Amino acid sequence: MIIVTGGAGFIGSALVWRLNQLGVTDIFIVDEFGKDDKYKNLLNLKFYDLIDKEEFGHIISQNDDFLKQNRVDTIFHMGACSSTTEQDLRYLLINNYEYTKYLCGISVANNIRFIYASSAATYGDGSLGYKDDESKLSELRPLNKYGYSKHLFDLWAQRNGYLNSVVGVKYFNVYGPNEYHKDDMRSMVSKAFDQVKVTGKARLFKSDAKEYGDGEQKRDFVYVKDAVDMTLHFWQNRIYNGIYNVGTGEANSFNSLVKPVFKAMNLKENIEYFDMPDVLKGKYQDFTKADMNKLRHTGYDKQITKVEDAVIDYVGNYLNTEDPHLK
């Protein structure tokens, strides 16, 4: 049995989708449900049971045998508050730090493979680079509270020796099907598609840094299908532990991310630039680029999808269809 927390969310549901493709359906999906539509991410998927996040915490705290009785083999901990603009640090610490500590401890105590989602937001302004070097972990300075909450757990896991037996995956800018419920936290591809469909043009931030032109801020954009393959690599290869980047190893501009949207829609490029909101100024990563050598050295040899090809697949086979979800 496999447990996927955040299993109805973006990356979590994509993990379940890929596991289904591999013939795996003995999956507990754990998530927190409210008024959003993320349940739609589950409609095409196969799994054993769906458990509310709070109920799951109650079950495993009250029933020591739950994990053994269900022969739980792996926990993919993808659940978190993923809003990079969230200002309630207490909320972030409870959801992203304390809950992860709890699940990590239980997993290791029960000899369960624990793979958790960290984030490229932990790298801050990138002045120290983007190499997943655990010896430099304490030197990183995240730019926002979300990144800080993720960084705190990385540090805790290192300090307590857990990085010798668990895996943390630092996701860079992931985009693709099943992110529709994320509202303003959706990728620029998803937002641009909606904007172009309604107005005929896409809107990007003007640059707030003199080093970059408008729309030329660069990020490591990784397609969700590649991100889940890299994550599952550590489920299939259990001899590897520690922290690993999940990205492409390339930095692409927002302009180059958005232009294929027009191509996929057979429309002329039309991009409008607007001022960056004050809440993001000084907290915005103008450049990210994952160092992928550590992952490659574990034997991961799959080709990573180029941005243009990924965007065209996303728009043509998902966004511009009646059912845009993975199936």
- CA distances from residue 222 to 100, 203, 252, 286 in whole angstroms, order as listed: 24, 21, 10, 16
Q: What is the C-alpha to C-alpha distance for residues 184 and 181, in angstroms, rounded to an integer?
A: 9
Active-site residue among 40, 53, 101, 182? 182
Q: Which two tokens stand for residue 291?
A: 């160092």
Q: Are 290 and 120 in contact (CB under 8 A)?
A: yes
Active-site residue among 116, 146, 180, 284? 146
3-state SS string for the chain: CEEEECCCCHHHHHHHHHHHHCCCCCEEEEECCCCCCHHHHHCCCCCCEEEEHHHHHHHHHHCCCHHHHCCCCEEEECCCCCCCCCCCHHHHHHHHHHHHHHHHHHHHHCCCEEEEEEEHHHHCCCCCCCCCCHHHHHHCCCCCHHHHHHHHHHHHHHHCCHHHCCEEEEECEEECCCCHHHHHHCCHHHHHHHHHHHHCCEEEECCCCCCCCCCCCEECEEEHHHHHHHHHHHHHCCCCCEEEEECCCCCEEHHHHHHHHHHHCCCCCCEEEECCCHHHCCCCCCECCCCCHHHHCCCCCCCCCCHHHHHHHHHHHHHCCCCCCCC
Q: Are 7 and 31 in contact (CB under 8 A)?
A: yes
In the annotation, is 146 catalytic? yes
User: What residues act catalytically?
Assistant: 146, 182
